[in-house]
């Protein structure tokens, strides 16, 4: 069988291929459909948005109920995972005797100082590397290499150098925070539209004018993405550091609870992380709303 | 290439704004400009026509001082402004900040407001560029060029991305602003009608050389219905290698054309004649 026998006769230009479009005869009027416009769609959407909040809460409530029932029924042993009621009462107890407050405060301070050192460091390195060829050659290679070294693996070195005090923990957080800030800010500076560079020539902007009016504002969205990631990294590293060597903080509380099989204390600490995570997210969102007002849709 | 201020060159006549001698530019093995000689008098409005890729913008960039790779002699005034096809506004700076970008002095803000007033956008000074329409954004970029009080205004297809109706308004605006501020203008375009409507003189760039240099001598308002207009258009199109009759470049064929755009009523702006 030849190829043309398989394929049939070649289709001529303009020829109607009846099999492919059976109901496209010229006399058949097209069926009209109504597209969703504002007034058609509004009631459905209003209902959806009304439902969204309660449905979210319902989902969480459902999970907690199932968890409670499973605990009451004895399917989950208390030493594995405490019941929600037990977690809440333990949380209240820890708050009342000040344990949780002290631990939270110790952790918050470490995260704060870690960010206070790491964020400016990452940002300054990114600007220097982004602005000059020399800076790029000196900085970027090092950072790109170091970012693949797991920070957690460095913790032993930090203990060797700095002992088991606050400095070691803060340094680890600062180090971990620096990378997402650097990488995102540097990428943002590198992707600045070169036409703005030409514009700066045309309007006679000086070097500092370029940095202030073009480079920094253009780098800001990338920096804020980096900040969001940095916040998550900060808490992650801190808990790790506190679990290894600390006499205070949320991580320390978790290690202690583990020793005494107090799963309800562990869950209280984990809930604290979740809440702190939400709060830091709200903080970064607020910063974005504040600084990125020029972006459409904000 | 040496871009020199006119003030530094004593040999140049006092009524000259631009003097170019033997300007050459190659990109790789392709020679785009093969010896351009160009003079523009002060306050003169010169349009530069050419097919796309002919090197029109290369000449403009050389006059702006943006091309470091060209050879030849270029004399231009110190105060120059460029308006690009894209408005090129900084999206993170409000409209007024964009207009006064790079300006120094205490009166920068008030001068910026005046410039925005002239393009009819004073009310938008606190807006973000991304909330403006294409025409509005381009008017902001014209204000940014004007506020520097240029002796040479370089327009690089500034209306190329605008719709036909906005274009007509922009033509009127540019004519009005030229009459008030009288800078020398080099207006790069590929639109023959636009060149005839606006310019005192039209140049055509072909194969790296200026192949035609015609004054626009039309008395009274420039109407497309004027026989002199049609004759000039035919000559320019022929020079650009387009046969008007067979390829349909004339009114009503292919393009949205208006019989006499200068006379279209415009509530916002009036041409001061």
pLDDT over 70, % of chain B: 84
CA distance A295 to chain B (A): 7
What are the strands of the beta sheet with B30-41, ordered from one edge?
B2-5, B71-76, B16-27, B30-41
Segment B148-173 mean pLDDT:
91
Q: B165 CB near a chain A CB, below 8 Å?
A: no
Q: How far is A153 from A127, CA to CA, in rounded Å? A: 28
CA atoms within 13 A on the CB side of B75: 21
Mean pLDDT rounded to a whole number for chain B: 85
Structural domains counted in chain A: 1
Residue B258 falls inside a structural domain: no
Percentage of residues of chain A with pLDDT beyond 90? 46
CB B257 within 8 A of CB B224: yes
Structural domain boundaries enclosing B93: 40-64+78-244
* Residue range B126-146: mean pLDDT, rounded: 94
> Is residue B108 assigned to a domain?
yes
Q: What pLDDT is stored for residue A25 in this prediction?
A: 58
Q: Pick from B94, B101, B130: which is nearest to A203 by CB?
A: B101
- Domain annotation covers residue A287: yes
- Does the distance separating the beta carbons of A199 and B66 come in below 8 Å? no
CATH number at residue B232: 3.40.50.300
pLDDT of B262: 44
Is the pLDDT score of B170 beyond 80? yes
Quick check: is A271 in a domain? yes
- The pLDDT value given to residue A24: 55
Q: Mean pLDDT per segment of 10 residues, for chain A of length 298 residues?
A: 58 54 64 81 80 84 93 89 91 92 92 96 95 90 88 83 86 93 96 92 90 94 94 89 84 90 91 88 90 82
Rounded average pLDDT over B153-160: 93
Is residue A159 in a domain?
yes
In a domain, B265, yes or no: no
Q: CA-to-CA distance for B140 and B116, rounded, in angstroms?
A: 7
* Sheet of B80-83, strands arranged across: B80-83, B152-156, B184-189, B45-50, B201-206, B209-215
Over residues B30-38, mean pLDDT: 92
Residue B172 lies in a domain: yes
Instruction: Give tens-digit pLDDT for A67-122.
Output: 999 999 999 888 888 899 999 999 999 999 999 999 999 999 999 999 999 999 99
| Closest residue to A201, CB basis, from B66, B90, B92 | B66
Q: Is residue B107 part of a domain?
A: yes
A50 found inside a domain: no
Q: What is the pLDDT of residue B273?
A: 35
Taking CA atoms, B9 is separated from A236, B6, B38, B64, in Å, by 67, 5, 16, 18
Is there a contact between A294 and B101 if contact means CB atoms under 8 Å apart? no
Predicted confidence band at B198 (pLDDT cuts at 50, 70, 90)?
very high
Whether the CB of B149 is below 8 Å from some CB of chain A: the reply is no
Return d(Cα B189, Cα B179) in angstroms, integer: 20
In a domain, residue A158? The reply is yes
- Per-residue confidence (pLDDT) for residue A175, from 0 to 100: 92
pLDDT of res. A44: 80
Whether residue B163 is predicted with pLDDT greater than 50 in this model: the reply is: yes
Specify if B146 maps to a domain: yes
Q: Residue A277: which domain range?
A: 88-291
The residue that leads in pLDDT, B62 or B4, is B62
Alpha-carbon torsion, ordered A250, A252, A253, A258, to 10 deg? 130
Domain-located, residue B73? no
pLDDT of residue B249 exceeding 50: no
In three-state secondary structure terms, B204 is strand
Residue A36: per-residue pLDDT:
79
Candidates B37, B32, B39; CA nearest to B16 is: B39
Q: Give the number of other Cβ atoms within 10 Å of residue B67's Cβ.
A: 19
* Residue keyed to tokens 């497309």: B224
- Residues of chain A with Cβ-Cβ distance to B156 below 8 Å are none
Closest C-alpha among B159, B25, B81 to residue A201: B81
- Over residues B98-125, the pLDDT tens digits come to 999 989 888 999 999 999 999 999 999 9
- Surface-to-core class of residue A115, CB atoms within 10 Å of its CB (0-12 exposed, 13-18 middle, 19+ buried): buried
C-alpha pair distances (Å), A138 with each of A130, A143, A144, A191, A211: 11, 9, 11, 20, 20
Q: Residue A6 has what pLDDT?
A: 59
Asked if the model's pLDDT at residue B53 lies above 60, the reply is yes
CATH code of A287's domain = 1.10.3720.10
In 3-state terms chain B splits into helix, strand, coil percentages (rounded to 5) of: 35, 25, 40
Nearest to B51 by CA among B192, B159, B167: B192
What is the pLDDT, as a whole number, of residue A189? 95
- Residue B7 has a pLDDT of 46
What pLDDT was estimated at residue B258? 43
Task: For residue A158, give both structure tokens.
Answer: 């930090």
Question: How many domains would you assign to chain B?
Answer: 1
What is the pTM assigned to this prediction?
0.76
- Residue B100 maps to a domain: yes
């Amino acid at each position: 069988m030849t190829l043309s026998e398989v394929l049939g006769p070649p289709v001529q230009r303009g020829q109607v291929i009846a099999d492919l479009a059976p109901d496209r005869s010229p006399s058949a009027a097209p069926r009209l459909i109504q597209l969703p416009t504002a007034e058609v769609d509004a009631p459905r959407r209003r209902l959806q948005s009304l439902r969204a909040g309660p449905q979210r809460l319902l989902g969480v409530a459902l999970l907690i109920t199932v968890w409670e029932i499973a605990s009451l029924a004895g399917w989950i042993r208390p030493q594995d995972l405490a019941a929600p009621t037990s977690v809440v009462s333990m949380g209240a107890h820890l708050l009342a005797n000040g344990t949780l407050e002290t631990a939270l405060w110790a952790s918050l301070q470490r995260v704060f100082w870690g960010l206070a050192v790491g964020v400016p460091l990452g940002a300054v390195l990114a600007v220097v590397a982004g602005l000059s060829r020399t800076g790029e050659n000196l900085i970027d290679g090092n950072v790109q290499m170091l970012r693949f070294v797991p920070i957690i693996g460095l913790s032993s070195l930090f203990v060797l150098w700095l002992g088991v005090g606050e400095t070691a923990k803060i340094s680890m957080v600062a180090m971990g925070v620096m990378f997402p800030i650097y990488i995102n800010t540097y990428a943002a500076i590198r992707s600045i539209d070169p036409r703005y560079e030409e514009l700066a020539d045309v309007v006679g902007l000086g070097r500092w004018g370029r940095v202030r009016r073009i480079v920094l504002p253009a780098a800001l969205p990338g920096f804020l993405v980096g900040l969001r990631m940095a916040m998550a990294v900060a808490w992650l590293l801190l808990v790790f550091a506190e679990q290894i060597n600390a006499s205070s903080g949320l991580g320390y509380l978790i290690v202690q609870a583990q020793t005494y099989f107090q799963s309800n204390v562990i869950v209280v600490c984990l809930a604290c992380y979740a809440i702190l995570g939400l709060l830091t997210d709200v903080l970064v969102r607020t910063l974005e709303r504040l600084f990125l007002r020029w972006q459409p849709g904000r | 290439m040496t871009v020199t201020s006119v003030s530094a060159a004593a040999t140049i006549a006092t009524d000259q704004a631009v003097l170019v001698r033997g300007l050459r530019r190659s990109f790789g093995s392709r020679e785009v400009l093969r010896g351009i000689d160009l003079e523009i008098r002060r306050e003169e409005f010169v349009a530069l026509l050419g097919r796309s890729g002919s090197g029109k913008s290369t000449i403009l960039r050389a006059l702006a001082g943006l091309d470091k790779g060209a050879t030849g002699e270029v004399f231009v005034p110190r105060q120059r402004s460029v308006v690009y096809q894209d408005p090129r506004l900084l999206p993170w700076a409000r409209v007024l900040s964009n207009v006064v970008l790079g300006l120094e002095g205490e009166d920068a803000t008030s001068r910026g407001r005046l410039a925005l007033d002239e393009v009819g956008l004073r009310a938008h000074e606190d807006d973000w560029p991304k909330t403006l329409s294409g025409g509005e954004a381009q008017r902001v970029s014209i204000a940014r060029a004007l506020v520097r009080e240029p002796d040479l205004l370089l327009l690089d297809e500034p209306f190329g991305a605008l719709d036909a109706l906005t274009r007509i308004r922009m033509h009127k605006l540019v004519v009005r602003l030229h009459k008030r501020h009288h800078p020398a203008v080099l207006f790069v375009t590929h639109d023959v009608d636009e060149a005839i409507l606006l310019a005192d003189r039209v140049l055509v760039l072909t194969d790296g050389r200026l192949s035609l240099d015609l004054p626009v001598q039309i008395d009274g308002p420039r109407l497309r219905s004027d026989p002199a207009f049609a004759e000039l258009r035919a000559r320019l199109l022929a020079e650009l290698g387009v046969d008007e009759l067979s390829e349909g470049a004339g009114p009503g064929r292919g393009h949205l054309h208006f019989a006499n755009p200068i006379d279209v009523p415009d509530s916002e702006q009036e041409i001061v004649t």
